[in-house]
Structure 1
Amino acid sequence: MLIVCHPVLYSAVVILRMVDRKLSEIAYSIRESFHDSGYTEIFPPAFLKSDKVDGFRFIYRNKIFVLEPDITLRLMNRHITENSKIYYISQQSDEYLNESLKAGSEIMGGDEDETNIEILRMAIKILDNLGIKNYNIDISLTGIFDSYVRKKDGQHLIRAVKSRNYPQIQDMEIDDKDKLLQIMDTRTRKSGIDKLDSIIERIDDPRIIIDLGTVRQPEYYNGLIFEIYGKQEFLGGGGNYIMKNLRGCGFSLDLQALSKLYHGSHERVEK
């Protein structure tokens, strides 16, 4: 019996196969990068029992669970020893069941400044190994906007800063608004902040920029924070945090976003 595939269905299948192949190649390259650098792969749990964690919540036997929440929150339920270097590739879901495929790493313990340097170099290594060159890493510190957060509508203000919503900020009643806007627009290679200037000097990569307007959420970040952008795509980010009285630093990358910039091994060989 001859089976004829509908042209539209056939095209959809071909596109899906191309997407899957790209994601497979990206995941393979990321695993190689981490393995070569001495990281151990872990497999985070798919859900947590919690009524405070963001994500898609469901009730089972009168208890609240969250499906595939933020990766760092999933790690908090694991026993992770000091000086661990781990990585993962895992699904994440939001409250609307929108899924994303994330890859990232965490370094627990050790000297904070050395850990920051290593984690940033690891992110650069992954992106370079994928053949992705046109990206920037914006670095900053938590606490830059603390004096504003404590004021009225502080959380609304921080969300506006994170999204660079200048019209909304202009409409808000804020003391020192001009200073706030100046901080948001600070993009430099030398800031006068020793921790950030030291990173720029030691890594010496023009794609790393000090951007004091960078804001990371959730609120467990403490210290260095950073975000990674392509020309138009948000690729990922991370920073310092404290988990179970153990200081860590980590980052995650969005594989779907990376796939828009990744040309594939065959295409890169041809070029």
Structure 2
Amino acid sequence: MVLRGLREYSRLALVSSYLRRTFELWGYREVVLPTIEQYNGKLKGGTKFAYNNEFYLIKPDVTSRLLRNYELGSERLYYIEEVLNGGIEGKWQAGVEFIGGEPAFMTAEVLSVLITALEGLEIKEFYIDLGSLEVWRKATEDVKEFREIICTALKRRNFGLIEELPIGKEKKEELWRLFNFRGKESDYGKLAKILQLVDDERVFVDLGTVRPLPYYSDVIFEVYSPGLGRPIGGGGEYSFQGKPAVGFALDLGALLELAEVKERRSQRYLRGIGSFREARRLVSMGVPVEVRM
């Protein structure tokens, strides 16, 4: 969704304010990154340009920027950023990153942040699919030479690519079961633990779920709504400078199509002599005000 008018950007700001409130209630702090980063092949997305014989990127993917360019300890971070992908029209994203904890616990918390963020926008109809790269690594251990094709089949949701491979019937049947598995239980301990911790009927295990970004290490997830024909967002586990981490990014264009939120209006109205002095006092106490002529 490309934003065109001031009204759309005002609504973007409104949705962003609701997300900021949710993220901060969970203890996440906002990070603001520079518009331009020096070019590096490990950065994803962004629009490339040259200046003084050096290459740079305008607004690349946030997680890859954090991984490549910044020193962080154990952190809970969030961001609301425009991301470019080779052109001049960007996509607005909102996301969180939890760095330095126990992976299943971090994933459960990040999913809970995601659930409450959507509920805060009055988006009630959604579901989250959990997948696992480790499950597929183990399942393809004896057919390593075909992993790239199997990964392509998953991304395209096309089992026919696997069916054509010169591998045994039993292995194809095993991969078929994984490819089509979707349910509320899992034999994989980490996924089972996450389901138990999150304890929400809208979270499923779907082993056919994959994410194209290369930094994910194991558990990945995507969130969908029946009201939209594309994912609202997604995320997963990765390693940050030797520490486990989990994050997600939401497509704000998708949220603008689904959110049912209105301006919060509970301010005090003031007028007359002394109004601005009183307004300063109230604002310092956290009370919203509007001074009228």
> 1:256 maps to what in 2?
253
Alignment pair present for 1:51 and 2:46:
no
> 2:275 maps to what in 1?
none
> 1:159 maps to what in 2?
152
Residues 192-201 or 60-69, more deviating: 60-69
In the TM superposition, what is the alpha-carbon distance from 1:168 to its structure 2 partner?
A: 4.7
Instruction: Decide whether the 8 Å contact of 1:236 with 1:251 is kept in 2.
Output: yes
State the alpha-carbon separation in 1 of the partners of residues 163 and 8 from structure 2: 42
Question: What is the TM-score with the length of structure 1 in the denominator?
Answer: 0.84
Residues 62-71 or 25-34, more deviating: 62-71
Shift in CA distance, 157/60, structure 1 to aligned 2, threshold 3 Å: farther
Shift in CA distance, 177/191, structure 1 to aligned 2, threshold 3 Å: same
Instruction: Decide whether the 8 Å contact of 1:107 with 1:115 is kept in 2.
Output: yes
Question: What is the TM-score with the length of structure 2 in the denominator?
Answer: 0.78
> 2:172 maps to what in 1?
177
- Give a deviation string over 1:89-138, Cα, whole Å, max 9, x none: 00111134451101111111122222121111101110010100111111
Instruction: Decide whether the 8 Å contact of 1:54 with 1:95 is kept in 2.
Output: no
In the TM superposition, what is the alpha-carbon distance from 1:51 to its structure 2 partner?
A: 3.1
Tell which structure's C-alpha radius of gyration is larger: 2
For residues 47-86 of structure 1, the aligned pairs below 5 Å read: 47-49=36-38, 50-55=40-45, 56-76=47-67, 77-82=69-74, 84-86=75-77
Aligned residues: 251
2:257 maps to amino acid: K
Shift in CA distance, 97/54, structure 1 to aligned 2, threshold 3 Å: farther
> 1:235 maps to what in 2?
232
The Cα RMSD (Å) is 2.3
> 1:216 maps to what in 2?
211
Instruction: Decide whether the 8 Å contact of 1:108 with 1:247 is kept in 2.
Output: yes
Instruction: Decide whether the 8 Å contact of 2:149 with 2:161 is kept in 1.
Output: no
Shift in CA distance, 158/95, structure 1 to aligned 2, threshold 3 Å: farther
Instruction: Decide whether the 8 Å contact of 1:103 with 1:255 is kept in 2.
Output: yes
Shift in CA distance, 113/255, structure 1 to aligned 2, threshold 3 Å: same
> 2:273 maps to what in 1?
none
Query: Deviating runs (4+, > 6 A) in structure 1?
Result: none
State the alpha-carbon separation in 2 of the partners of residues 114 and 29 from structure 1: 25
Mark the runs of 5 or more structure 2 residues left unpaired by the alignment. Answer: 264-293
1:200 maps to amino acid: L
State the alpha-carbon separation in 2 of the partners of residues 67 and 170 from structure 1: 42
> 1:202 maps to what in 2?
197
Mark the runs of 5 or more structure 1 residues left unpaired by the alignment. Answer: 1-12, 267-271
1:129 maps to amino acid: G
> 1:6 maps to what in 2?
none
Instruction: Decide whether the 8 Å contact of 1:45 with 1:74 is kept in 2.
Output: no
